[in-house]
Amino acid sequence: MKRVFCCRSLLIICAALFSAWFFGGCIQSDENSPAFVNIGEFSIKKLPENCSEIRDGAGRILVLVPRGQNPPKGYQKNRIIETPVRRVVVYSGFNVSILKALNVLDTLVGVTHKKAYWTIDEVAKGMESGRIAYIGESNAVDFEKLKAIEPDLVLTWDACAISKINELDIPGVITITGEAMDLDTRMRFAQIMALFFNREREADEYVAKVKSAVKRVRDIFSDSGRGLRRKVIWGDIYEKRVLVEPGNSWAAEMVELAGGEYLFNDIFGGS
């Protein structure tokens, strides 16, 4: 009798737990207006009154507030970003190219590369006319110059710069993540950037375009079949050291998609 009771209890508990698992797996969030979106290590959480909370690449929380509106309580001044951002300083070339994709290059007021580096016409011309300032190399930024150009936001990959930027009461966002970005995160990063400029529609179009290009690459390779696979590594060579992209990075994914063999596929880590 006791054994029957025991088996029945076990069955009931198992059934309850597995139904919870099954139904849990079936729950879908509202894709059209999700209250929370996670892109790699970044995330966006919608707040009341058209505000949003974003988690940057280093896990810092910042709040986006429509221009002219009072910010929600509980945030430091240098963690509040007024949107749309009108003046932005950008460290990374990749982030500048996202600005171009979002059609907001006119908001760019400062960069950390000299004019000769840029292949984007608008940036080179902007630097020539003085509209875009060179604020020094990323490891030697002139913070007085940065303050003088009065940006609304600084997008940086350099965590070390954040404390100085915050000291100037300028909000700063870290655009790289501890773990290397995968291809999906790299593509959808534009959707994070779009929030600063109210360009969500442009970002969605851009992501769809890049996704279709990636699909095209995949299709070309799958049509040609798996013949000879070129061995590829992707990295930066420094004195006495070579830093490579790990197997979980977008670079490794792209090599594999294009029919190559990424030699550090077994390595997991940061960029």
Q: Which tokens hold the place of 36?
A: 């929370």
Instruction: Write 133-136 long-range contacts (CB < 8 A, 24+).
Output: 133/109, 134/110, 135/89, 135/110, 135/111, 136/112
* Chosen residue from 36, 50, 128, 209 binding another protein by CB under 8 A: 36
Span of 6-14, 108-116, 216-224, 250-258 interacting with another protein by CB under 8 A: 6-14
Which phi and psi (to 5°) does residue 244 adopt? Answer: -110, 160
> Are the beta carbons of 37 and 43 closer than 8 angstroms?
yes
47 makes contact with another protein (CB under 8 A):
no
**Per rule CB under 8 A, is residue 229 in the interface with another protein?**
no
Q: Does 43 bind another protein (CB under 8 A)?
A: yes
* Residue 113 binds another protein (CB under 8 A): no
Residues whose CB falls within 8 Å of the CB of residue 244, separated by 6 or more in sequence, listed in order: 233, 234, 235, 264, 267
Do the Cβ atoms of 76 and 100 come closer than 8 Å? no
Query: Which residues make Cβ contacts (< 8 Å) with residue 187, sequence separation at least 6?
Result: 207, 210, 211, 214
Cis check: omega of the bond before 84, within 30 degrees of 0:
yes
Site for another protein contains 217 (CB under 8 A): no
Q: Which is nearer to another protein, 58 or 210 (CB)?
A: 58
Task: Select the residue interacting with another protein from 45, 86, 145, 218 (CB under 8 A).
Answer: 45
Q: Does 24 bind another protein (CB under 8 A)?
A: yes
- Regarding 14 and contact with another protein (CB under 8 A), the answer is yes
Neighbour tally for 190: CB within 10 Å: 24
User: In this structure, are residues 63 and 195 in contact, taking their beta carbons and an 8 Å threshold?
Assistant: no
Per CB under 8 A, the list member of 50, 69, 76, 222 interacting with another protein is 76
Compute the least distance from the CB of residue 199 to another protein, in Å.
23
Paired tokens of 82: 């007024």
Among 32, 223, 227, 238, interactor with another protein by CB under 8 A: 238
9 in contact with another protein (CB under 8 A): yes
Bridge partners of 64, per DSSP, are 52, 81
- Which residue in 73, 230, 231, 240 binds another protein (CB under 8 A)? 240
Q: Does residue 60 belong to the site contacting another protein (CB under 8 A)? A: yes
Of residues 242-271, those binding another protein (CB under 8 A): 243
Please pick, from the candidates 50, 103, 163, 222, the single residue that binds another protein as defined by CB under 8 A. Answer: 163
Query: Which residues of this protein are in contact with another protein, per CB under 8 A?
Result: 2, 6, 9-10, 13-14, 17, 20-21, 24-27, 29, 34, 36-38, 40-41, 43, 45, 55, 58-60, 76, 139, 158-164, 166-167, 178-179, 236, 238-241, 243
